[in-house]
Amino acid sequence: MIRNHLSTIIITIVTAAMGVIAAISFGKMHHPEELFPSDGLTGKVMLSDYFEGIRGTNGDTEVYLFDSGLEGGTALVCGGAHPNEAASFLSTVVMLENLRVACGRVIIIPRLNNSAFTCSDPMEGFPASYDIPTKNGTRRFRLGSRVTNPLDQWPDPLVFSQYPSNQQLSGFETRNINRAYPGRPDGNLTERIAYSIVQLIEKEKVNIAFDIHESSPEVPIVNVIVYHENYEDIAMSAILGLEMAGLQFSPETSPKNFHGLSHREWGDYTNAIPFLMETSNPSMGRLRGRTDVDLVLNGYCDNYKQAKETGALRIAYREDTGEPMTHRVGRHIAGVVELINSYNLYYPDMQIVIENLPDYEMIMEKGVGEFLNN
């Protein structure tokens, strides 16, 4: 009897201690890392300033404004729609911490789905964070989930019916912001975040908008620029420019019958010219081996090397160097710069002139950390 009570007490104490440690660890995920915007920053607001329906939720996020004071166009750059795509978030952080705008305005949202930064994908074995060495030390960044935290939106339906198209998708996709556009004011949290973004695009009269992503090396939509069919000329001109700089991007038209995605709905529901870019991230792929920080940052995996060498699959993977973070961030920033240059050719009255961003070679040579402030 005494032994039974003793085991109950010991197990209760041990479990409570584990619970407290786990609670502290999970609680830390809700504290976003500090960002250090460049001198060019002119304002910072919250996404809830564009739609009250997300104020006080984990979906609310910082919106950084860079206004040149000169009349011109407005660009919106969004990272972190899927926080498990590390180069998406990090590319916008590098832009945020270096950007100066000489004409027009640039709006940057590094954590588009802030709620998804507060958890990680179950059964994937992703590291919770990764460190980037910088000039003055090391900075730690969260590696989040593809979808909104289930604490903020739960349970998922068995089948997700996309609004307003009624397209049927897997229930899991109900928490994917890149299936939720244009969103709705009385929808679930993900739909309300999507609605807030659309409100921002309309209220700020955004002319060109970027949604930065990463994908598995083996999926067909990788190393691409996805464009809305109305703006093919701008995309092709930019891809040509990037090709001349030695960076290959495949052009992909946004499918007309695949709804909820930024490159489809931003183009259909707003006046913005949307582009979505993807880089190849081996840490997200099904063929990957050990999923650790090294794979997230260096993107080198023997499994992908072997798979590429068999020739059985079309895999976006460089056998010799892998797909390191420098390469992925460099591609994204080069893509944004070239698409804005291309936009300027077609809209000379609504110019956007951006400066002080590192180019692909600089990032490859010096590393991402060289362009982070702290």
Q: Which residues bind other proteins (CB under 8 A)?
A: 4, 7-8, 11-12, 14-15, 18-19, 22-23, 26-27, 151, 154-155
Q: From the CB of 120, what's the least distance to other proteins, in Å?
A: 11
For 339, the 3-state DSSP assignment is helix
Our CB check for other proteins shows the closer of 12 and 306 to be 12
Q: From the CB of 78, what's the least distance to other proteins, in Å?
A: 28
| Distance between CA atoms of residues 189 and 154, nearest Å | 10
Our CB check for other proteins shows the closer of 22 and 45 to be 22
Our CB check for other proteins shows the closer of 71 and 124 to be 124
Q: From the CB of 345, what's the least distance to other proteins, in Å?
A: 50
Helix axes 189-203, 262-269, angle to 10 degrees: 50
Amino acid at 94: V
Amino acid at 246: G
Our CB check for other proteins shows the closer of 19 and 289 to be 19
Our CB check for other proteins shows the closer of 3 and 286 to be 3
Q: From the CB of 179, what's the least distance to other proteins, in Å?
A: 20
For 264, the 3-state DSSP assignment is helix
Cβ pair 79, 94 in contact under 8 A: no
> 216-219: long-range contacts at Cβ-Cβ below 8 A with a sequence spacing of 24 or more?
216/280, 216/281, 216/282, 216/284, 216/285, 216/286, 217/280, 217/281, 217/282, 217/285, 217/287, 217/304, 217/315, 217/316, 217/317, 217/323, 218/285, 218/286, 218/287, 218/307, 218/313, 218/314, 218/315
Q: From the CB of 289, what's the least distance to other proteins, in Å?
A: 27
Q: From the CB of 19, what's the least distance to other proteins, in Å?
A: 5
Our CB check for other proteins shows the closer of 122 and 246 to be 122
Our CB check for other proteins shows the closer of 26 and 36 to be 26
First-last CA distance in the chain = 59
Q: From the CB of 16, what's the least distance to other proteins, in Å?
A: 9
Closest CA to 233 of 287, 184, 273: 273
| Distance between CA atoms of residues 87 and 58, nearest Å | 22
Q: From the CB of 22, what's the least distance to other proteins, in Å?
A: 6
Our CB check for other proteins shows the closer of 8 and 253 to be 8
Our CB check for other proteins shows the closer of 156 and 294 to be 156
The beta strands (E) that lie in the chain are given as 43-46, 62-67, 74-78, 100-103, 105-109, 129-134, 137-142, 159-161, 168-170, 208-215, 224-227, 250-253, 273-280, 353-355
| Distance between CA atoms of residues 155 and 150, nearest Å | 7
Q: From the CB of 273, what's the least distance to other proteins, in Å?
A: 38
